Amino acid sequence: MAVFVQTSRTAEVTLTSLFFLEVLLAFFLLPQRLPKGCPVSPLQAAGVLAACCALLFPMISIVKRASGAAAAWFSRTCIKADPLKKQKSRAKFEDQCWQLWIHATMTALECYVLFIDAGGEPWFDQPATLWTPHPSLQVHDKTSLHVLYVVQMAIWIVTAFSHQFFEERHKDYVMMWVHHLVTIALIGLSYTMGYVRIGVLVLLLHDSSDIVIDLLKTTNYMKLEGPSHLFLVEICFVTNLFTWGYSRLYLYGYHVVYVGGWVMPREVLLSPYSPGIGWAKSVTQGHAPGFRYPQSIGDGTFSLLENIKSLPTHEMIPGYWSFNVLMSSLIIMHVIWYLMFWRIFYKLLTKEAAHDAGREEYEGDSDDD
């Protein structure tokens, strides 16, 4: 036990140190590599990021207090067991409410950027457009897109800070800490390297699927389970099994990470006669004989492994390995969490109460008084 505690403390100190390093990089290095079309200067960008971080704290406090007060009243007057009478239970409920507020707000903004602003974008339906023209040549003049990135960076900085210093600790505390650090790194890399198109897809799939998770957790904390409460916890749980599997594993894992991240940069940017590249006329590794741009893109004849073997990396795809390894690491975490959901589902099928099943698999010490 002593060895385990020492290891946990070492991991916690290491992750906390990495977090503060990422914050320093965000404020001092990120503004130096703003993508083309950014409406503010580097100095202004750092100030905007700081202002967003500062404004989030009072906004989070307001959401927590309002949601906590309303839920506590409902718990006292409408639920026999009064599940939020314990301060720890109410604190967990409030933490989840501000997560729900953030995920819903960001999903709306991401949908606006992707589907509404300036007529929408084809990035999701046409993966080749993620990399044409080359990210270093792309001009992003949508103010909404830059607002999305700055606000997202501020949200994850504040979320990580809150996760370490304020929120109740669950069994997946360390993995969630790692998740926050990976997300901050991905947001910073995609923004400074011009990979904002695929970044918007990643953010949308995560934020939208988190709404269902937030609803599941809030209904579970309120113990709105069984026939007397219209099976709200059970309905949210089953819904989450489908939405998480579809968005986090299929759409994100296959369409965004594999097709959009691993395959398309090489098939498009390292293809013969690719426009704007020039040097690539002699590069044919991985491309079938008679390859024609853009007609042959996505026709299934491109060999990713052959291309990687011939060209492990190249100046036309900077950050390829670091960016894709970080995105792929999120999939591993998604699978671990998804397996946890199925373990809870098994306990539900064996007639265990929904709240008890969730407490055993997820809450850990955070559920103790």
Q: Which two tokens stand for residue 338?
A: 């998804």
- CB-based contacts of 181, cutoff 8 Å, min separation 6: 15, 18, 19, 22, 160
Contact 130, 123 (CB under 8 A): yes
Is residue 202 in some structural domain? yes
pLDDT of residue 5: 42
- CB-based contacts of 310, cutoff 8 Å, min separation 6: 285, 286
pLDDT of residue 1: 40
Count of domains in the chain?
Answer: 1
Is residue 24 in some structural domain? no
Is residue 184 in some structural domain? yes
Is residue 56 in some structural domain? yes
* Cα–Cα distance measured from residue 354 to residue 348, given in angstroms and rounded to the nearest whole number: 6
Is residue 270 in some structural domain? no
pLDDT of residue 6: 45
Is residue 25 in some structural domain? no
pLDDT of residue 181: 92
3-state secondary structure of 142: coil
Alpha-carbon dihedral angle through residues 340, 156, 255, 339, given to the nearest 10 degrees: 0
* Cα–Cα distance measured from residue 38 to residue 48, given in angstroms and rounded to the nearest whole number: 12
* Cα–Cα distance measured from residue 287 to residue 307, given in angstroms and rounded to the nearest whole number: 8
Average pLDDT for runs of 10 along the chain of length 369: 52 88 89 88 90 93 94 91 89 92 96 96 94 90 95 94 78 83 93 94 96 94 87 91 95 96 93 58 74 86 92 88 94 92 82 58 52
* Cα–Cα distance measured from residue 316 to residue 338, given in angstroms and rounded to the nearest whole number: 36
Is residue 23 in some structural domain? no
Is residue 208 in some structural domain? yes
Q: Identify the CA nearest to 287 among candidates 277, 276, 297.
A: 297
Q: Which domain holds residue 119?
A: 41-256
* Cα–Cα distance measured from residue 69 to residue 77, given in angstroms and rounded to the nearest whole number: 12
Kind and range of the H or E element at 50? helix 42-78
